[in-house]
Amino acid sequence: MSKDNRKYDLEDRLVDFAIRIIRVGESLSKTKTGNHIAGQLIRSRMSTAPNYGGA
């Protein structure tokens, strides 16, 4: 996809971002701290695509 077309597909890019965040969360250590940070990260970033789509 050309750079000019990418600026118009924000919803698709937000979904891709959410998928990358899930992968980051899964890669964190399975300690109590790692689980807490992963949960916070995933919860805080997962709402961007639906909120944009709803607007």
Average pLDDT value for the chain: 85
Burial class (CB in 10 A: 0-12, 13-18, 19+), 32: exposed
3-class DSSP state of 45:
helix
H helices of 1-55, in order, are: 3-6, 10-27, 32-46, 48-54
Answer for the pair 14, 52: CB distance below 8 angstroms, yes or no: yes
Residue 51 has pLDDT above 60, yes or no: yes
Q: Please write the tens of the pLDDT for every residue from 4-47.
A: 666 668 888 888 999 999 999 999 999 999 999 999 998 888 88
Q: Please write the tens of the pLDDT for every residue from 1-12.
A: 556 666 668 888
